[in-house]
Structure 1
Amino acid sequence: MLVVPLSTTASQQQATFSATVARVRVDVIVTDAAGRFVDDLRPEEFVLYEDGVEQRILSTQVVDLAAGRITEFVPDLSRRADLTMRPVPSASMAGDLGAVIFLVDLPGLDRRNKDRFADAWIKLIDETELMGIPRAVYLIDQVGYLRELAPLTLSVDELRGAAQEVRDAPLVRRGVHDQLVRAAADIPGEEALDFLFLNEVRIFEAQERARTRSTFRLLTQFCSVLSAREGRTALVWVTSEVQLAEGGPGTALAAAALANSDPGFVSGTVDRSRGTGDILFSYLSIAPQMSELQRDLHDTANSSNVSIYTLDPRPAREHRSLPLDMRVGNGDLADLLNDSAVQTSLDGLKDALWQAADETGGQAFIGATELDQALRRIDIDTSKFYLLSYEPSAPQGDGEFHTLRVDVRRSGVNVRERRGYVGLTPQDREAQALAAALVLPGAVSAVPVEVRAYRGWSAAGKPIVRLVVAFEQDLGQQQAGPTQVISHQIHAVALDAIGVTVDEINQQLSPRGSVSPRIRSGERPIVYMHDWSLLPGTYNIRVAVRDGTNGEIGATAIDAELPAPSSQWMASDLMLTVADPSGSAQPLMTGWIFSDETLLAYVEVSVGGEPFLSGRILDADGLQPRAILPETMLTEDSVGIHRGAMRIRNVPPGDYILELELADHTDGNTRSFRVPLQVLPG
């Protein structure tokens, strides 16, 4: 069970999404001819244009996240004022300025270079003591689904775990490069070439085109979600092969083979009539929809302040290399593979990577010999930049795309910035922030949220997931009294094992309600509980909470498994509930209680005989008993479910282990529970 803490240390906090933007912020990276960041520019050296019209720059800052410092130029003065950040900035502070998100495109890699990238990445992480900017890791798996391996975090251990998961990910797909070598070795005689070889090439390259379209759509959706972020996002797209052309290297190989046997053959296409109909290949023209999909990706990334950094872990020596048996003793096939059309088509697999980086203000790292150096350059490029802000002259929320351009009045420098943005209304931006919360829950934490999911049965005896959501709200500014304003919205989706949404919850909490003193004082969170009827299966439940008073959103996710109905004895999960002296009760989410509170251990049994709950309280080491708890019989209801709760009172302050056993007198079934418990003075 995944539980996200309500309060975290600075190294565990996550970046914040905001629903509104007062000014347009433009992150600008300026480098010299050697690629070094130029850090001595003055405000008057920047010229910023929106839709070709020069804008008045309201603030200019130099952000150095690695050093933990923001240097701001004081208006109308010729000096700088240093505003020093904390030595280790929180992720929410750093995340408002920048973040790095790794997107590992597993279907676009082969096993060797996937492992090569992961090894270099793990090495770099192991050499890192502190993260100056939050990072997240996502994986496109072999069937094209997006998986979160690590949310935005400053935790080195969490990132290393994600990198190791990439290293361990199984990969059975044969890449374009390897498929080409295999196809060359299998080229038959010219007669069979028509019917067998071309058909195999056609099928494989149709699959590659479909994969490319799917990847572009996923990347575009990913960037759209990131538009809710305040700062610049560096999206590191790790892949080796993206086929834009209608045909790929296999088509070029077939064209070379046919040209050898038919001097009149027109290079660039393979168009041969055969009994099954006409099949047209072209390795020179872009496949239908590809240009539009590319443009959508680039525009969405620019509008979302996302710079795409493309990283191809395949070393340059392998881009056009052939296996030894192709180079020695197999001259005809080697000549075909070295044909200029084949080599050009292989190079074309990198075009989308160069273009994505160039169009979005990122960088392309293709054929890098030292991957750890490429990763370091991405870190440097992301952690140091100029931050300009201005008030746009165009009406806010017009829904139009507005181009941006930054010039620097200094020769010999390179300038990179996002190409534009879409003017969204606050309502549209809020909707995007909510979408971000449900698509990328690990990246949204303006409202700290904790979620738990308990398996049980409804009053009608149906299997359910008992969803418990806890969040904090500052009620200290409200007028004292039992009635307080609570204006939160709960949004939750349940995704099945293949990522399809099967059900959702959209709940506006009651605007007014009775609030216990401990919730009002902030000692206890606000808790929402929902009995969710779902079909048996495994689910990823994503929950977003929106604070109606300020528009802030927090989110998290949890996995839940709901077993199929059975004629066998089955127990629910144990749910602990705490009741304070005022009589207010709620599920225990904190792991601790006050000594004047009552703890209730609630459990259910299906197909039971005479189930009962017993237990004891042990010391913190779980060795010495401190108290023996009386047995509690579970009561069978009208639908055949036994339910019951053990009451635990008057536990003195201290650290304990709560050990409970659910047993059935009739058939001997048992289930044990061990829960750490801290008791504070009440």
Structure 2
Amino acid sequence: MLSLKRGRHGRAVVQGSSSSYLARRMNQLMSRILSFSLCFVVSVHFGIGEAHQIQTPPPEQTQEGQPEQPVFRTGINFVRVDVIVTDDDDNPVTDLTIEDFEVFEDGDLQTVETLQFFEISGTQSSSEPPREIRSVYDEEVEANRPDVRLFAFFMDDYHVRRGAGLRIIEPLVNFIRNDLSPSDLIAVMYPLTPLTDVRMTRNHEAIIDAIEKFRGRKYDHEPRNGFEFRYASASAETVERIRNEVSLTALRALMTRLGGLREGRKSVILVSEGYTNIVPPQLRNPIASEFDDPRQRNPFISSGDPRESARRMMADVSIRSDLERVFDTANRNNTSIYALDPRGLASFEFDIDSGVGLTDDSNMLQSTMATLRDLAETTDGRAIVNRNDPTDGLRQAVRDSSAYYLLGYTSNDTPTDGRFHEIRVRVKRRGLDVRARKGYWALSQEDLERLEAPAPAAAPSDVDLALRVLEARRNATQIQTWIGAAKGNNGLSRMTFVWRPIPRVPGRAPVDVSGVEVVARDEGGTVFFEGLVPAETTIASQSDLSPSKEKQVHLPIVAFDVEPGLLRLDLSIQGADGRVLDNDVQTFTVPDFTEMAIALSSAMVFRASNAYEMRQLRTQSGAVPEIGREFRRGDQLLIRFETYALGEASPSVEAALLNRAGDVMAKLPVVLPSAGGDFYELGLPLANLAPGEYLVELTASVGLEPVRQLIAFRVTS
């Protein structure tokens, strides 16, 4: 059980939790997030405005002689740092007072103003089961409870060999099941996991399921997704540097995510064999995804070469720079890293068949292991290295999060220089081991300006964007256009441009447009298409083969191939008398369908007024897509699109009808392409829909990589 009681000398001791705690935290949540999540929260927490003390609310009338409860405030120069104090047997010391601590910032003694001691047993504060996390709100509320511990597992498959990865699964699973409390919030993240998919949860079995799928891929350069296919032809050194950047950037993002949940201590279990920016010469393949060259596997190929020594020195400097950014992020977000080396008690870094010499092998093993120690020690964590059984090291992470002091002081120098300031914490009692952050990064003037500036408007969701495009079509003044992208030949993308005059509006003079001059070029000026797209016309022509007259129809549509990237369309709208009515410039980002693991072409929408027209549309391959997105209830829509996947993968395709809030109203049946056909089709009669705005959602997935496209339209009476 955990509560917070008033201790002597201004000491607050957490031992249980009151029944009113959750309601009080819910009322404080929004103001607390605004004042703290935007600040740089480190070992050390900065805030603007009033800080909320984590303790049970006092009774309305204080008993006579009882001292007032301490107020823990924060400000621009108010610094908080968590401190772990243990005895010789590594047991936490729980009876220290505010007078027992001394804090030095850059060698200058500071005055400790506040002190809290947190002791978390992991047991529930009530007989009710732990609250399930069903929303972001639940996550934020529960993460801010003082009786809840936060753990995140970062499974760095890019830096773990397959065998070592398989060996470490069982200890991690046992740790979650046997050592973590049901009330603990945990999460798991891989280097390529989107940050939006990382959620703290109490469903520990779901995390175990994700960990059991862990497969190490160190030095396995076979591409497995669209992102990796982009650099599949790069050298092994380039691929390893990219993987380092991806992993360390993802680790920093994870710690930033945890820092936004609460001020208190958070722990990241980093499963990795360490980091280096150098590849042994025996493994430096010119193309990483191809087989190794056996001629390179000479253990003496770099022996005594001064160039290799210089290369190693530069690699050490660069990886140190990369790690310093991780240290900075961890300190800013009060997150400790427990670096777990799955190699166990390792004697060698490489297998014998790799051909790496013993000296190079030993240097690589020691340097990668040193990076794990640095990550742990600099962030007030522990390095779980050189041990075949990591259980004790993992349990240490639980003990560290279960008993610690949180002290606060106002810096004497009031720094706002944006620099790192060293912190040393001492206790006056002898024979105790004190662990605390190495320091903090002060806010700079630019940081203060950003904090005081109004919050930027939230980015619109894809539903809002689709509805905005619908409104923009309605407000067009001369013509309406539709531009779609599909996969072309020889690595190009096929663009289709269609236009029509705006519909006749009562009381407004009709717009007489004869054609649109189109120039399509990339950002470098290369022209892919230039020409006039005339309005739809029907003329009579005399065939040479038949005396009968035929009707020839010119449709306002053109298709051309472009290279993926930024595309600019210059449109010149011409009137019937030859005058230029208006000019317009439209820009698009053309996707590279050859590099995407799964993709959808731009969906084409066709309108039919009755069943006969719908049958005609289904049998026609050259019909012009509907440009407008405003339909009557008597209309029927036919939607066609293509899907693309790498290799021989067969995507799973689904469709749904959404309301303007993005909620699913109904699933729509999708017709698979016929033999020799390329298009998926779905029909949508509008008779059952009330007037309003709707969206059709198209999704395609291969494995765990779904893509989505939204088509907004309006139904009138």
Per the normalisation by structure 1, the TM-score is: 0.51
Of residues 398, 415, 433, the one that matches 1:414 is 433
The alpha-carbon deviation at position 37 of structure 1 amounts to 2.2
Contact kept, 8 Å, 2:263 with 2:333, in 1: the verdict is: no
Q: Deviations over 1:348-400 (max 9, x none)?
A: 22111111211221110013323444333222222321111122223364423
Contact kept, 8 Å, 1:607 with 1:641, in 2: the verdict is: no
The alpha-carbon distance between structure 1 residues 104 and 248, as it changes in their structure 2 partners (threshold 3 A), is: farther
- Which residue in the other structure is 2:198 paired with? 151
Of residues 398, 402, 405, the one that matches 1:386 is 405
Distance of 2:321 and 2:256 partners within structure 1: 16
- Which residue in the other structure is 1:167 paired with? 212
- Which residue in the other structure is 1:73 paired with? none
Of residues 159, 166, 172, the one that matches 1:108 is 159
- Which residue in the other structure is 1:644 paired with? 715
What does residue range 437-448 of structure 1 map to in structure 2 within 5 Å?
Answer: none
Per the normalisation by structure 2, the TM-score is: 0.48
Please tell me whether residue 40 in structure 1 is matched to residue 95 in structure 2: yes
Of residues 575, 585, 592, the one that matches 2:658 is 575
Q: Deviations over 1:624-669 (max 9, x none)?
A: xxxxxxx869999xxx9974389xxxxxxxxxxxxxxxxxxxxxxx
Of residues 258, 270, 284, the one that matches 1:237 is 270
Secondary structure of 2:112's aligned partner? coil
- Which residue in the other structure is 2:330 paired with? 301
RMSD in angstroms over aligned alpha carbons? 5.7
The alpha-carbon distance between structure 1 residues 249 and 413, as it changes in their structure 2 partners (threshold 3 A), is: farther
The alpha-carbon distance between structure 1 residues 437 and 205, as it changes in their structure 2 partners (threshold 3 A), is: farther
Gaps of 5+ in 1: 1-6, 70-82, 177-201, 260-264, 272-277, 327-332, 442-448, 465-500, 503-532, 539-559, 578-586, 592-599, 615-630, 647-682
Distance of 1:433 and 1:234 partners within structure 2: 30
What does residue range 14-163 of structure 1 map to in structure 2 within 5 Å?
Answer: 18-19=37-38, 21=47, 22=74, 23-67=78-122, 92=140, 95-96=143-144, 99-127=150-178, 130-141=181-192, 146-148=193-195, 151-157=198-204, 160-163=205-208
Distance of 1:289 and 1:169 partners within structure 2: 28
Contact kept, 8 Å, 1:104 with 1:239, in 2: the verdict is: yes
What does residue range 143-222 of structure 1 map to in structure 2 within 5 Å?
Answer: 146-148=193-195, 151-157=198-204, 160-169=205-214, 172-174=217-219, 204=236, 207-208=239-240, 211-212=243-244, 215-216=247-248, 219-220=251-252
What does residue range 197-346 of structure 1 map to in structure 2 within 5 Å?
Answer: 204=236, 207-208=239-240, 211-212=243-244, 215-216=247-248, 219-220=251-252, 223=255, 228=260, 229-243=262-276, 257-258=299-300, 269-271=304-306, 287-316=316-345, 318-320=346-348, 339=358, 342-346=361-365
Secondary structure of 2:342's aligned partner? strand
Contact kept, 8 Å, 1:399 with 1:424, in 2: the verdict is: yes
Distance of 1:398 and 1:223 partners within structure 2: 24
* Aligned partner letter, 2:264: G
The alpha-carbon distance between structure 1 residues 285 and 535, as it changes in their structure 2 partners (threshold 3 A), is: closer
Distance of 2:684 and 2:332 partners within structure 1: 63
Identity of aligned residues (%): 21
The alpha-carbon deviation at position 314 of structure 1 amounts to 1.7
* Aligned partner letter, 2:715: G
Gaps of 5+ in 2: 1-22, 40-46, 48-73, 132-137, 222-233, 285-294, 474-480, 485-564, 567-586, 593-597, 607-637, 641-654, 671-679, 695-710
* Aligned partner letter, 2:686: F
The alpha-carbon distance between structure 1 residues 435 and 635, as it changes in their structure 2 partners (threshold 3 A), is: closer
Distance of 2:115 and 2:382 partners within structure 1: 24
Distance of 2:157 and 2:308 partners within structure 1: 30
Of residues 408, 414, 423, the one that matches 2:442 is 423
Q: Deviations over 1:447-498 (max 9, x none)?
A: xx9997797872538699xxxxxxxxxxxxxxxxxxxxxxxxxxxxxxxxxx
Secondary structure of 1:346's aligned partner? helix
Of residues 400, 424, 430, the one that matches 2:419 is 400
What does residue range 526-675 of structure 1 map to in structure 2 within 5 Å?
Answer: 564-566=602-604, 569-570=638-639, 573-576=656-659, 587=661, 611-614=685-688, 643-644=714-715
* Aligned partner letter, 1:361: D
Contact kept, 8 Å, 2:417 with 2:444, in 1: the verdict is: yes
Contact kept, 8 Å, 1:68 with 1:85, in 2: the verdict is: no
Secondary structure of 1:350's aligned partner? helix
The alpha-carbon distance between structure 1 residues 322 and 428, as it changes in their structure 2 partners (threshold 3 A), is: closer
Please tell me whether residue 458 in structure 1 is matched to residue 470 in structure 2: yes
Q: How many residues align?
A: 437
* Aligned partner letter, 2:657: L
Task: Report the structure number with the largest CA radius of gyration.
Answer: 2
The alpha-carbon distance between structure 1 residues 413 and 609, as it changes in their structure 2 partners (threshold 3 A), is: closer
Distance of 1:117 and 1:602 partners within structure 2: 42
